[in-house]
Amino acid sequence: MNPASLVRSIRVWLAIVILGLFVSGVTAFPLQHELDLVVRIAAHFHLADRAPVLNDWFLRVDHALADTNARYPFLAYGTDWLAFAHIVIAVAFIGPWFDPLRNKWIVTWGLINSVGIFFLALIAGPVRGIPLYWSVIDCSFGVVCGAILLIVRSKIRLLEQLAQPTGRTNAL
């Protein structure tokens, strides 16, 4: 594989990460509207008959969010910051998109954070009363992003080998 095609491939994978982070950030702003939509879709497809536990969870979260927003709308400011953080993290990956070799540390940082998702979801989830199946869904984001970043890291290593005449690589 030549350097130009490696860089193109790295950019495609990083674009997926950037887009995923950006979308997950932007969708944290209108949570109540999104959750209301999920509840309507669940009712339309009779989720209560097919997956009552999941349907009950959707309803519980929807009611809690509506009640909280009605009584304490300022608490939504926390999810606004969550949204902003996702967008900022997405922006960080623009560095390796432009210069993968110089910014490879951001890919390593992303891998560390992908592993960290497991700790947050599996420790804080039960403390906050989040069902295990939902924590597993949260962990899936770490799995998907981590897998993509492992691909990116391996391609950066190949790019390093092609860039160094001795064939030696620097550790990521």
Q: Tell me the pLDDT tens digit for each residue of 38-54.
A: 999 999 999 999 999 99
Q: How far is CA 42 from CA 17, 56, 98, 138, 168, in A?
A: 28, 10, 42, 20, 55
Residue 32: other Cβ atoms inside 10 A: 14
C-alpha count within 13 angstroms, C-beta hemisphere, residue 4: 0
The model carries a pTM of 0.89
Residue 118: other Cβ atoms inside 10 A: 16
CA dihedral 66, 67, 73, 74 (to 10 degrees): -120
Percent of the chain clearing pLDDT 90 (strictly above): 94
Q: Tell me the pLDDT tens digit for each residue of 97-140.
A: 999 999 999 999 999 999 999 999 999 999 999 999 999 999 99
Q: Tell me the pLDDT tens digit for each residue of 53-107.
A: 999 999 999 999 999 999 999 999 999 999 999 999 999 999 999 999 999 999 9
Q: Where are the domains of the chain?
A: 3-163
E strands within the chain? Answer: none
